[in-house]
């Protein structure tokens, strides 16, 4: 069975600083996908970034990058130059080999301080 | 506008009274799925569908049913709701991320439906 662990229930970061949100995963699949989603206080779920298990380069999307360490089974999200609008809940998720079955972590609440 | 629409957004009901939460997407996605979100547990997948008439159980399917008669619609049915099904429910549809061979479905979520069962 797949499992996602996010050990940081809450994080604080100063505006304009970088922050790393931790995510570790467990799976027996050889092929899988890793995702990060953002949930602002308004409640919607927003896709941020994707990393395939066979991708050798770390994924980047604007200020977001995914630090993928396959041997450690970790997929940490790095947000550079934090903004007040980055304050939200962040979920790490993974999909199975076929991209059908999704498992989410419990989330990390990030608060950006002015 | 590309979107996933869920209804109702808020519902208070009583134990045993059948209810349906509708979900519709206008992006022609083949993949659709349902999740429930509970504090401290993140989102848990209830059911998913790879295409019309093709559905499969997620991690927490007990007490729920789904159907996929049309590509755009994927309703969630609670035949006999119980208080432990009080939760925030999300419907999502998915499309392949950039490379179709990657196998990854990037999810577009609906706004959520907050259900309370008394």
Give the model confidence (pLDDT) of B6-39 as tens digits.
999 999 999 999 999 999 999 999 999 999 999 9
B74 touches chain A (CB under 8 A): no
pLDDT of res. B99: 54
pLDDT of res. A56: 85
B89 touches chain A (CB under 8 A): no
Q: Is B103's CB within 8 Å of A107's CB?
A: no
What length is written for chain A?
A: 114
Those residues whose C-beta lies under 8 Å from the C-beta of residue A73, and which sit 6 or more positions away, are A24, A25, A26, A27
Average pLDDT, chain A: 95
Token output for B15 = 């134990």
- Is B64 a residue whose pLDDT tops 80? yes
Q: Is A100's CB within 8 Å of B56's CB?
A: yes
Interface test with A, best of B32, B47, B74, B102 (most A CBs within 10 A): B102
Token output for B61 = 């399917």
CA distances from A26 to A1, A4, A30, A72, B118 (A): 8, 7, 11, 10, 36
pLDDT of res. A66: 97
B42-54: average pLDDT = 95
How near does any CA of chain A get to the CA of B24, in Å?
Answer: 16
- Is B109 a residue whose pLDDT tops 90? yes
How far apart are alpha carbons A15 and A13 in whole angstroms? Answer: 6
Per DSSP, A58 falls in state P
- Confirm if A101 and A95 have CB atoms less than 8 A apart: yes
Lowest-pLDDT range of A70-74, A89-93, B15-19, B97-101 = B97-101
Average pLDDT, chain B: 93
Residue A94, strand partner residues: A34, A103
Nearest alpha carbon to residue A67 among A11, A9, A10, A18 = A18
Nearest alpha carbon to residue B109 among B4, B31, B37, B2 = B4
Q: How does residue A14 score in pLDDT terms, banded at 50, 70 and 90?
A: very high
Nearest alpha carbon to residue A33 among A110, A114, A103, A107 = A103
- Confirm if B41 and A106 have CB atoms less than 8 A apart: yes
Interface test with A, best of B90, B106, B112, B113 (most A CBs within 10 A): B106
pLDDT of res. B118: 96
- HSE-CB at A83 with a 13 A cutoff on CA atoms is 5
- Is A22 a residue whose pLDDT tops 70? yes
How near does any CA of chain B get to the CA of A105, in Å?
Answer: 6
Q: How does residue A10 score in pLDDT terms, banded at 50, 70 and 90?
A: very high
């Amino acid at each position: 069975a797949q499992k996602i662990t996010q050990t940081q229930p809450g994080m604080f970061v100063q505006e304009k600083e970088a922050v790393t949100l931790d995510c570790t995963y467990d799976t027996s699949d050889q092929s899988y996908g890793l995702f990060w989603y953002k949930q602002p206080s308004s409640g919607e779920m927003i896709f941020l970034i994707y990393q395939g298990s066979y991708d050798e380069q770390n994924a980047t999307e604007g200020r977001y990058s995914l630090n993928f360490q396959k041997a450690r089974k970790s997929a940490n999200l790095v947000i550079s130059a934090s903004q007040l609008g980055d304050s939200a809940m962040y979920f790490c998720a993974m999909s199975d080999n076929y991209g059908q079955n999704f498992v989410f972590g419990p989330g990390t609440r990030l608060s950006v301080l002015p | 506008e590309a979107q996933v629409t869920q209804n109702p957004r808020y519902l208070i009901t009583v134990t045993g009274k059948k209810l349906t939460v509708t979900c519709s997407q206008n992006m022609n996605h083949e993949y659709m799925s349902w999740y429930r979100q509970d504090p401290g547990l993140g989102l848990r997948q209830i059911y998913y569908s790879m295409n019309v008439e093709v559905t499969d159980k997620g991690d927490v399917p007990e007490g729920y049913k789904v159907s996929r008669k049309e590509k755009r619609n994927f309703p969630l049915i609670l035949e006999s709701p119980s208080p432990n099904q009080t939760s925030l429910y999300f419907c999502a549809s998915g499309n392949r991320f950039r490379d179709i061979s990657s196998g990854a479905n990037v999810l577009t979520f609906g706004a959520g439906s907050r259900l309370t069962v008394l």
